[in-house]
Amino acid sequence: MFRKHQELLEDYLFHHVISLKTEENYRLCVEKLRRAIHADVDSLEFGQLLEWRRRELSEGLSPTSWNTYMRHLKALFNHGIEQGKLPYKDNYFSQLMVKAPDKLKKRLSGEQIVKIRELFEALKREEEETGNHFAGFHPVWFWRIVIETFFYTGIRRKQLLHIQMNDIDLRCLVLYVRFEGSKNKKERFLPIPDDLAPWLEKLLWENARKKFHPEDQAFNVNCYNPLSRRKEMSQCQVVACFRELSWRLGFQVSTHRFRHTLGCTLANKPTANLFLIKEILGHSSIRSTMEYMEADLAAMRAVLNERQPEIQQGLLKSTGMLDREP
């Protein structure tokens, strides 16, 4: 029993080129389906799936996580139906999504950005004066450049790690973002903002001193740590830096918060150009970009304040005060 689960999954993976992380997610979803419903993939009943949904949500699984499972299983079963491996006329999993609550994007305030930069300035001074090495921040200048790159570009953590030396063109102020690190497997070019250029110039200069090659990983802290045995910088090293940063500052800092901060800042400008913002963030659909649009509280307050004189006029009129002579 359940042999067909594995056969369907392996056939899907054979026909599609996906990352190892995505493959792991598909295997996890199939395993959850196998554990939840004791029936093979070609004999599932819609009622069984509805009961599974009710049980998972009642036990505390978030709608967002449930929908993630359903998207993977929907794609898997679409493949099975198209290939004639499953007997279903309709894909049950396309009917099992639930409405997830809308949440505000988690972003950093202007005050928090200032505190991040002030901390790095203080760490830099102490490192230069005392020679102390700070866990997660050595060398300080390197991690400051990492922070500024996330702040100005909004790229994802994985994208930063795939940037090579020859991907940074300071003469044309262009950054090449490789498809290997992109969520949607699309490569693109990003303009380098003027304020970011000096930081990247510092990085390239330091890397040149270490005799980096054009195809070498541009952001590689291991080359500046004589105790490190790693050849390339990994995601866990970036995570460790942000974990330490969050602990020191007392608020959550992450690469995704920098990305959301950029997206919300750009999308909520009065002159926002959604197409350009979509290209900057690397979204496949402009619908993803529109999620960063939020009602401006100051504008909302102005609308409410405009209403007050009208209400006051109405109150005076109703009491007859407007008709009385002074």
Q: Catalytic amino acids?
A: 156, 183, 256, 259, 283, 292
Across the strands, what pairs with 190? 175
SS3 190: strand
**Cα distances (angstroms) measured from residue 252 to each of 3, 101, 106, 111, 122:** 44, 22, 9, 13, 19
* Phi, psi dihedrals of residue 168, rounded to the nearest 5°: -105, 110
The H or E element spanning position 48 is: helix 46-58
Rounded Cα–Cα distance for residues 177 and 155 (Å)? 8
Tokens of 278: 């979509």
Tokens of 101: 């609550």
Tokens of 183: 């969520």
Q: Dihedral through CA 77, CA 78, CA 79, CA 82, nearest 10?
A: 120
First to last CA, the chain: 92
Write the single-letter amino acid at 86.
Answer: L
The distance of Cα 25 from the centroid of its chain, to the nearest Å, equals 17
SS3 302: helix
188-191 and 174-177 beta bridge pairing: antiparallel
What is the Cβ-side half-sphere exposure of residue 240, based on CA atoms within 13 angstroms? 11
Q: Using an 8 Å Cβ cutoff, are 85 and 112 in contact? A: no
Tokens 């830096």 belong to 241
Q: Using an 8 Å Cβ cutoff, are 160 and 233 in contact? A: no
